A and B are shown apart, each in its own frame.
Chain A
Amino acid sequence: QQQVKQSPQSLIVQKGGISIINCAYENTAFDYFPWYQQFPGKGPALLIAIRPDVSEKKEGRFTISFNKSAKQFSLHIMDSQPGDSATYFCAASFAGTYKYIFGTGTRLKVLA
């Protein structure tokens, strides 16, 4: 019940295309959903985050779509660029807690 399931495991997209990464959860007590981006040899870094009171959040080319009834959320990268090639992790946490439950990660490669 505390798992966050992430798919796909890997993704190859052409430059300019849309990258879509999906996550699903079971526990409805989760109320904060961040996405982290990790480049090779680096630690993960916060990319964008959403709470379940909104269905969408956009920051530049990155958009989180949230479907509370389906218990799913997804990251959309518009106009994907080779510089977006990285591993992306979704995560979830409960109100008032410090710990995140991370998904298994999606390795994205954007072809030039």
Chain B
Amino acid sequence: DARVTQTPRDKVTEMGQEVTMRCQPILGHNTVFWYRQTMMQGLELLAYFRNRAPLDDSGMPKDRFSAEMPDATLATLKIQPSEPRDSAVYFCASGLGAQETQYFGPGTRLLVL
């Protein structure tokens, strides 16, 4: 049963600390997305990759957020320094191409105190 995995599932940290979230896309999927979900803003696309190359990161606050794909089986999203307003659920999703189904992971629930 192929699925997207994300770690950690929950993270509580203090303001100013670095946060790293990891995602393992479904094997063979070449497109990876990072989303942030909050009650106020809904689902926001932060960045996405095609064949490990970043295609669009315009949704990300550049000064503190960074996203990378060190290899085809790992995507990372880092926040440094973290702020309380970053508290949200962060989802990773993977897919096979344009307008193909996006398969979402279970999310990382982040709380920044």
Binding site for B on A (CB under 8 A): 32, 34, 41-46, 89, 93, 95-100, 102-105
Given A98-B31, A98-B50, CB of A44 within 8 Å of CB of B98: no
Interface residue ranges of B76-113 to A (CB < 8 Å): 91, 93, 95, 97-99, 101-107
Selected contact of A97 from candidates B91, B93, B98, B104, CB within 8 Å: B98
Q: DSSP class of A's interface residues: helix, strand, loop or mixed?
A: loop
| B106 close to A102 (CB less than 8 A) | no
Q: Say yes or no for B14: interface residue by CB 8 A criterion.
A: no
| A100 close to B104 (CB less than 8 A) | no
Number of interface residues of B (CB under 8 A): 23
Q: Report how many A-B pairs have Cβ atoms within 8 Å.
A: 51
For A96, list chain B residues within 8 Å (CB).
98-99
Cα–Cα, bound, A42→B105 (Å): 8
Selected contact of B4 from candidates A32, A43, A97, A104, CB within 8 Å: A43
Distance of B111 from chain A, by nearest CB (Å):
15
Q: Say yes or no for B12: interface residue by CB 8 A criterion.
A: no
| A98 close to B4 (CB less than 8 A) | no
Cα–Cα, bound, A51→B45 (Å): 22
Selected contact of B43 from candidates A34, A46, A98, A102, CB within 8 Å: A102
